[in-house]
Amino acid sequence: MTQATDATKSASEPCLLTHDEGRVRVLTFNRPRALNAFNQELYLALAEALRSADADPQVRVIVLTGAGDAFTAGQDLTEMASMASATGVIGFEVLLDALEAVGKPILAAVNGLGLGLGLTILLHTDINLMADEAKLKCPFVTLGVVPEAGSSFLLPHVLGYQRTAELLFSARYMGAKEARETGLVLETLPRAQLLPRVLELATKIAQQPPAAVRETKRLMRHATRGEARAARAREAEEFKARMVSPEFQEAMRAFAEKRAPNFD
């Protein structure tokens, strides 16, 4: 997939959909054939949409969700190999900076599969609800890499150290019930009821005095912001080292050859 192809595609079908329900801005990842995986285009589109929603006085709450059956498969693996040698703007980092800068509440409606950033983005949103049918996974070690998006600090903060260790080391799926019980999401419900319920909650929050809500979020985020940023910096440094490791190369070869990787 080249940038030219992306540009062509995005002209007819944007990779991010935007619409408002009253004072709630809904942003929908819209690459359903790629399970809404994040390519450079989607990273930058979402970052820009977040900045725009945060600046818009008509918008009080932001909702993130995915089109079709998936929430998001995370980093698009077809672009991942090229990240090792990437120069210039890294969409992933631009998106995380944008997420961190948003002052308004962000709710996530996890409608389906979440991989990698599909899970770790939930550490940067404020309230997450999840469809019973959805499942989440952090496949970092299986790819020979390490956690990202500050998750080496934020995920233990939410799930506890042990559960995080077990999930990251085994790279297994977590279902909706477990996500709720461990505190990764607040509520789980059938997919058909997910977005209506998220909008109901978002609308209720949108009725509160917006500056008080914004300052409350700022005060709450303050406590972990420094550590989350420091974790992101440590992760990014190690991530770069991992991308030239034999483990990562074997994982990418196995992905290309559609076989299980061999780490013996």
Is 1 an interacting residue with respect to its own copies (CB under 8 A)? no
Which residues ranging from 155 to 184 are in contact with its own copies (CB under 8 A)? 156-158, 160-166, 168-171, 183
Q: Please, what is the minimum distance in Å from the beta carbon of residue 85 to its own copies?
A: 20
Closer to its own copies by CB, 89 or 256: give it.
Answer: 256
| Contacts for 236 with CB less than 8 Å, ≥ 6 apart | 93, 148
Helix (H, G, I), strand (E, B) or coil at 107: strand
Burial of 41 (0-12, 13-18, 19+ CB in 10 A): buried
Q: How far apart are CA 130 and CA 66, in angstroms?
A: 12
Angle between helices 210-242 and 91-101 (to 10 degrees): 160
Q: Which window, 45-53, 64-72, 95-103, 213-221, contacts its own copies (CB under 8 A)?
A: 213-221
DSSP annotation string for 138-197: --TGGGT----TTHHHHHHHHH-HHHHHHHHHHT--EEHHHHHHTTS-SEEE-HHHHHHH
Closer to its own copies by CB, 30 or 75: give it.
Answer: 75
Task: Tell me the one-letter amino acid at 42.
Answer: L
Q: Please, what is the minimum distance in Å from the beta carbon of residue 37 to its own copies?
A: 21
- How many residues does this entry show for the chain? 264
Is 222 an interacting residue with respect to its own copies (CB under 8 A)? yes
Which residues ranging from 107 to 126 are in contact with its own copies (CB under 8 A)? 126
Is 192 an interacting residue with respect to its own copies (CB under 8 A)? no
Beta strands per DSSP E along 7-132:
16-21, 24-29, 61-66, 70-72, 106-110, 113-115, 127-131
Is 207 an interacting residue with respect to its own copies (CB under 8 A)? yes
Q: Binders of its own copies: how many residues, by CB under 8 A? A: 61
Is 188 an interacting residue with respect to its own copies (CB under 8 A)? no
Considering only residues 58, 87, 209, 259, which one is a binding residue for its own copies as defined by CB under 8 A?
A: 209
Contact positions vs its own copies (CB under 8 A): 105, 126-128, 140-147, 152-153, 156-158, 160-166, 168-171, 183, 185-186, 201, 204-205, 207-213, 215-217, 219-220, 222-224, 227, 231, 234-235, 238, 242, 245, 247, 250-251, 261, 263
